[in-house]
Copies of this chain bind each other. A is one copy, B any other.
Protein backbone atom coordinates (compact mmCIF):
# COMPACT_ATOMS: atom_id res chain seq x y z
CA UNK A 1 0.00 0.00 0.00
CA UNK A 2 1.09 3.59 -0.58
CA UNK A 3 2.03 5.89 2.23
CA UNK A 4 -0.88 7.94 3.50
CA UNK A 5 -0.72 10.64 6.14
CA UNK A 6 -4.37 10.60 7.24
CA UNK A 7 -5.04 6.90 6.79
CA UNK A 8 -3.59 3.50 7.46
CA UNK A 9 -4.56 0.86 4.90
CA UNK A 10 -4.09 -2.90 5.16
CA UNK A 11 -5.16 -5.77 2.93
CA UNK A 12 -5.61 -9.23 4.42
CA UNK A 13 -7.66 -12.12 3.08
CA UNK A 14 -9.51 -9.99 0.50
CA UNK A 15 -10.49 -7.43 3.16
CA UNK A 16 -9.11 -3.90 2.92
CA UNK A 17 -9.01 -2.26 6.32
CA UNK A 18 -9.08 1.51 5.87
CA UNK A 19 -8.34 3.31 9.11
CA UNK A 20 -8.58 7.04 9.67
CA UNK A 21 -5.30 7.55 11.42
CA UNK A 22 -5.05 10.87 13.18
CA UNK A 23 -6.09 9.78 16.67
CA UNK A 24 -4.31 12.73 18.30
CA UNK A 25 -6.69 15.02 16.37
CA UNK A 26 -9.76 12.84 17.04
CA UNK A 27 -9.39 11.80 13.38
CA UNK A 28 -10.43 15.25 12.16
CA UNK A 29 -10.67 15.38 8.38
CA UNK A 30 -7.83 17.58 7.08
CA UNK A 31 -6.87 18.41 3.51
CA UNK A 32 -4.81 15.22 3.19
CA UNK A 33 -7.81 13.17 4.29
CA UNK A 34 -10.06 14.48 1.52
CA UNK A 35 -7.36 13.88 -1.12
CA UNK A 36 -6.11 10.51 0.03
CA UNK A 37 -9.52 8.88 0.36
CA UNK A 38 -9.97 9.27 -3.40
CA UNK A 39 -6.68 7.52 -4.11
CA UNK A 40 -7.45 4.75 -1.65
CA UNK A 41 -10.82 3.96 -3.17
CA UNK A 42 -9.40 4.13 -6.69
CA UNK A 43 -6.90 1.50 -5.58
CA UNK A 44 -9.71 -0.56 -4.03
CA UNK A 45 -11.68 -0.33 -7.27
CA UNK A 46 -8.72 -1.37 -9.41
CA UNK A 47 -7.55 -4.18 -7.14
CA UNK A 48 -9.63 -7.27 -7.82
CA UNK A 49 -8.07 -8.91 -4.78
CA UNK A 50 -10.01 -6.52 -2.53
CA UNK A 51 -13.54 -7.83 -2.13
CA UNK A 52 -14.82 -5.94 0.89
CA UNK A 53 -13.77 -2.86 2.88
CA UNK A 54 -13.83 -2.15 6.61
CA UNK A 55 -13.66 1.54 7.52
CA UNK A 56 -12.74 2.47 11.08
CA UNK A 57 -11.02 5.16 13.14
CA UNK A 58 -7.79 4.76 15.10
CA UNK A 59 -7.93 5.54 18.81
CA UNK A 60 -10.88 6.26 21.06
CA UNK A 61 -13.13 7.93 18.49
CA UNK A 62 -14.26 7.32 14.94
CA UNK A 63 -13.93 10.98 13.87
CA UNK A 64 -14.86 14.47 14.98
CA UNK A 65 -15.58 15.55 11.40
CA UNK A 66 -14.02 18.19 9.21
CA UNK A 67 -10.88 19.91 10.44
CA UNK A 68 -11.71 23.53 11.21
CA UNK A 69 -8.29 24.64 9.96
CA UNK A 70 -9.31 23.46 6.51
CA UNK A 71 -12.50 25.52 6.60
CA UNK A 72 -10.46 28.54 7.63
CA UNK A 73 -8.12 28.11 4.69
CA UNK A 74 -11.05 28.02 2.27
CA UNK A 75 -12.43 31.20 3.86
CA UNK A 76 -9.08 32.85 3.15
CA UNK A 77 -9.45 32.26 -0.58
CA UNK A 78 -12.62 34.34 -0.76
CA UNK A 79 -12.49 37.74 -2.45
CA UNK A 80 -14.86 40.68 -2.75
CA UNK A 81 -17.34 39.67 -5.42
CA UNK A 82 -20.20 37.61 -4.01
CA UNK A 83 -20.79 35.95 -7.40
CA UNK A 84 -17.20 34.80 -7.82
CA UNK A 85 -17.06 33.68 -4.18
CA UNK A 86 -20.17 31.61 -4.82
CA UNK A 87 -18.50 30.05 -7.86
CA UNK A 88 -15.45 29.18 -5.75
CA UNK A 89 -17.44 27.79 -2.80
CA UNK A 90 -19.63 25.69 -5.10
CA UNK A 91 -16.52 24.13 -6.65
CA UNK A 92 -14.99 23.40 -3.25
CA UNK A 93 -18.16 21.76 -1.94
CA UNK A 94 -18.52 19.65 -5.07
CA UNK A 95 -14.89 18.54 -4.65
CA UNK A 96 -15.40 17.51 -1.04
CA UNK A 97 -18.60 15.66 -1.97
CA UNK A 98 -16.61 13.78 -4.61
CA UNK A 99 -14.37 12.44 -1.84
CA UNK A 100 -17.29 10.65 -0.23
CA UNK A 101 -19.05 9.71 -3.45
CA UNK A 102 -16.14 7.38 -4.23
CA UNK A 103 -17.10 5.46 -1.09
CA UNK A 104 -20.74 5.33 -2.17
CA UNK A 105 -19.88 4.27 -5.73
CA UNK A 106 -17.24 1.71 -4.74
CA UNK A 107 -18.29 -1.58 -6.34
CA UNK A 108 -17.33 -3.46 -3.17
CA UNK A 109 -19.24 -3.33 0.13
CA UNK A 110 -17.92 -0.86 2.71
CA UNK A 111 -18.61 -1.60 6.40
CA UNK A 112 -18.18 1.20 8.91
CA UNK A 113 -17.14 0.32 12.48
CA UNK A 114 -17.87 3.24 14.80
CA UNK A 115 -16.69 3.88 18.36
CA UNK A 116 -16.77 7.13 20.37
CA UNK A 117 -17.47 10.39 18.54
CA UNK A 118 -19.00 10.24 15.09
CA UNK A 119 -19.73 13.87 14.46
CA UNK A 120 -20.40 16.28 11.59
CA UNK A 121 -18.44 15.17 8.53
CA UNK A 122 -18.16 11.71 10.07
CA UNK A 123 -21.91 11.27 9.64
CA UNK A 124 -21.55 12.33 6.01
CA UNK A 125 -18.90 9.64 5.63
CA UNK A 126 -20.73 6.71 7.24
CA UNK A 127 -23.90 7.64 5.32
CA UNK A 128 -21.94 6.78 2.17
CA UNK A 129 -21.05 3.29 3.50
CA UNK A 130 -23.09 0.12 2.93
CA UNK A 131 -23.58 -0.87 6.56
CA UNK A 132 -22.79 0.69 9.92
CA UNK A 133 -21.93 -1.08 13.20
CA UNK A 134 -21.26 0.59 16.54
CA UNK A 135 -19.64 0.05 19.90
CA UNK A 136 -21.83 0.89 22.88
CA UNK A 137 -19.95 4.13 23.53
CA UNK A 138 -20.62 5.49 20.05
CA UNK A 139 -22.20 8.92 19.82
CA UNK A 140 -23.67 10.36 16.62
CA UNK A 141 -24.40 14.04 15.97
CA UNK A 142 -25.14 16.19 12.90
CA UNK A 143 -23.07 18.97 14.38
CA UNK A 144 -23.05 21.22 11.28
CA UNK A 145 -26.17 23.01 12.52
CA UNK A 146 -24.12 24.37 15.43
CA UNK A 147 -21.59 25.76 12.96
CA UNK A 148 -24.38 27.88 11.47
CA UNK A 149 -24.61 25.83 8.28
CA UNK A 150 -26.59 23.11 6.54
CA UNK A 151 -24.53 19.92 6.20
CA UNK A 152 -23.32 19.74 2.59
CA UNK A 153 -21.12 16.69 2.14
CA UNK A 154 -23.82 14.04 1.95
CA UNK A 155 -25.58 13.70 5.33
CA UNK A 156 -28.74 15.52 4.24
CA UNK A 157 -28.73 13.58 0.96
CA UNK A 158 -27.97 10.00 2.03
CA UNK A 159 -29.12 9.75 5.64
CA UNK A 160 -32.84 10.23 4.77
CA UNK A 161 -32.53 6.99 2.80
CA UNK A 162 -31.23 5.21 5.92
CA UNK A 163 -33.37 6.38 8.83
CA UNK A 164 -36.96 7.55 9.17
CA UNK A 165 -37.89 11.06 8.07
CA UNK A 166 -39.03 12.19 11.52
CA UNK A 167 -35.81 11.31 13.36
CA UNK A 168 -33.75 12.58 10.41
CA UNK A 169 -35.20 16.04 10.85
CA UNK A 170 -34.88 16.03 14.63
CA UNK A 171 -31.20 15.14 14.33
CA UNK A 172 -30.58 17.74 11.62
CA UNK A 173 -32.41 20.62 13.32
CA UNK A 174 -31.23 20.05 16.88
CA UNK A 175 -27.80 18.48 16.34
CA UNK A 176 -28.46 16.41 19.43
CA UNK A 177 -26.39 13.37 20.39
CA UNK A 178 -27.73 9.96 19.47
CA UNK A 179 -26.30 7.02 21.37
CA UNK A 180 -25.63 3.50 20.08
CA UNK A 181 -28.87 1.93 21.29
CA UNK A 182 -31.00 4.68 19.78
CA UNK A 183 -28.95 4.44 16.60
CA UNK A 184 -29.83 0.76 16.46
CA UNK A 185 -33.51 1.41 17.07
CA UNK A 186 -33.80 3.96 14.25
CA UNK A 187 -31.83 1.85 11.79
CA UNK A 188 -28.72 4.02 11.66
CA UNK A 189 -26.58 1.01 12.64
CA UNK A 190 -27.27 -2.68 12.06
CA UNK A 191 -25.90 -4.02 15.32
CA UNK A 192 -24.10 -2.82 18.48
CA UNK A 193 -21.19 -4.40 20.31
CA UNK A 194 -19.97 -4.01 23.89
CA UNK A 195 -16.64 -2.38 23.07
CA UNK A 196 -14.15 -1.63 20.31
CA UNK A 197 -12.39 -5.04 20.20
CA UNK A 198 -15.72 -6.87 19.99
CA UNK A 199 -16.91 -4.39 17.40
CA UNK A 200 -13.91 -5.03 15.16
CA UNK A 201 -14.20 -8.80 15.69
CA UNK A 202 -17.84 -8.72 14.74
CA UNK A 203 -17.42 -6.50 11.70
CA UNK A 204 -14.48 -8.49 10.39
CA UNK A 205 -16.47 -11.68 10.73
CA UNK A 206 -19.23 -10.23 8.56
CA UNK A 207 -16.58 -8.96 6.15
CA UNK A 208 -15.07 -12.45 5.88
CA UNK A 209 -18.46 -13.91 5.09
CA UNK A 210 -18.95 -11.42 2.29
CA UNK A 211 -15.44 -11.95 0.97
CA UNK A 212 -16.21 -15.64 0.52
CA UNK A 213 -19.11 -14.98 -1.88
CA UNK A 214 -18.81 -14.56 -5.64
CA UNK A 215 -17.40 -11.07 -6.25
CA UNK A 216 -19.47 -10.91 -9.44
CA UNK A 217 -22.65 -11.55 -7.45
CA UNK A 218 -21.69 -9.13 -4.68
CA UNK A 219 -20.94 -6.21 -6.97
CA UNK A 220 -24.14 -6.88 -8.90
CA UNK A 221 -26.19 -6.92 -5.70
CA UNK A 222 -24.57 -3.72 -4.50
CA UNK A 223 -25.17 -1.82 -7.74
CA UNK A 224 -28.80 -2.98 -7.86
CA UNK A 225 -29.55 -1.84 -4.32
CA UNK A 226 -27.80 1.48 -4.88
CA UNK A 227 -29.73 1.93 -8.12
CA UNK A 228 -33.04 1.56 -6.29
CA UNK A 229 -32.42 4.63 -4.16
CA UNK A 230 -33.09 6.77 -7.20
CA UNK A 231 -35.08 4.70 -9.68
CA UNK A 232 -38.52 3.17 -10.07
CA UNK A 233 -39.20 -0.51 -9.45
CA UNK A 234 -39.82 -1.05 -13.18
CA UNK A 235 -36.53 0.60 -14.08
CA UNK A 236 -34.77 -1.57 -11.52
CA UNK A 237 -36.29 -4.75 -12.89
CA UNK A 238 -35.19 -3.97 -16.42
CA UNK A 239 -31.73 -3.01 -15.24
CA UNK A 240 -31.09 -6.23 -13.33
CA UNK A 241 -32.36 -8.28 -16.30
CA UNK A 242 -29.80 -6.55 -18.53
CA UNK A 243 -27.06 -6.87 -15.93
CA UNK A 244 -27.64 -10.56 -15.31
CA UNK A 245 -27.89 -11.26 -19.06
CA UNK A 246 -24.09 -11.11 -18.95
CA UNK A 247 -23.37 -12.15 -15.38
CA UNK A 248 -25.39 -15.38 -15.40
CA UNK A 249 -22.95 -16.57 -18.09
CA UNK A 250 -20.15 -16.35 -15.52
CA UNK A 251 -18.50 -19.52 -14.26
CA UNK A 252 -19.41 -18.55 -10.69
CA UNK A 253 -22.98 -19.70 -11.10
CA UNK A 254 -21.98 -23.21 -12.17
CA UNK A 255 -19.29 -23.35 -9.53
CA UNK A 256 -21.83 -22.44 -6.83
CA UNK A 257 -24.32 -25.01 -8.14
CA UNK A 258 -21.77 -27.80 -8.12
CA UNK A 259 -20.64 -26.87 -4.61
CA UNK A 260 -24.26 -26.71 -3.48
CA UNK A 261 -24.99 -30.19 -4.86
CA UNK A 262 -21.84 -31.55 -3.25
CA UNK A 263 -22.63 -29.73 0.01
CA UNK A 264 -19.26 -28.00 -0.17
CA UNK A 265 -18.20 -24.38 0.15
CA UNK A 266 -17.38 -22.90 -3.27
CA UNK A 267 -14.15 -20.94 -3.78
CA UNK A 268 -14.53 -18.05 -6.22
CA UNK A 269 -11.94 -16.20 -8.29
CA UNK A 270 -11.46 -12.49 -7.67
Contacts and interface: CB of A to CB of B under 8 A. Distances in A.
B210 A148 contact: no
A262 interface: no
A220 to B, nearest CB: 3
Copy number in the complex reads 6
Given A162-B166, A260-B147, A250 B81 contact: yes
Interface in A220-270: 220-222, 224-225, 228-257, 260, 266, 268-269
A131 B186 CA distance: 14
Contacts of A161: 165, 228, 233
Contact of A173 (B83, B186, B218): B218
A221 B145 contact: yes
Interface residues of A, number: 104
Interface string A121-158: 00000000011100000000000111111111010111
Nearest to A186: B187
Q: Which of A104, A209, A245, A266 has the most chain B CB atoms inside 10 A of its CB?
A: A245
Contacts of A200: none
A243 B206 CA distance: 32
B237 A97 contact: yes
A244 B148 contact: no
Interface string A176-217: 100000000011111000000000000000100110011011
B246 A156 contact: no
Interface of A: 68, 71, 78, 80-87, 89-90, 93-94, 97, 101, 104, 109, 130-132, 144-152, 154, 156-158, 160-170, 172-176, 186-190, 206, 209-210, 213-214, 216-222, 224-225, 228-257, 260, 266, 268-269
The 3 closest A-B pairs by CB, nearest first: A83-B250, A150-B220, A148-B256
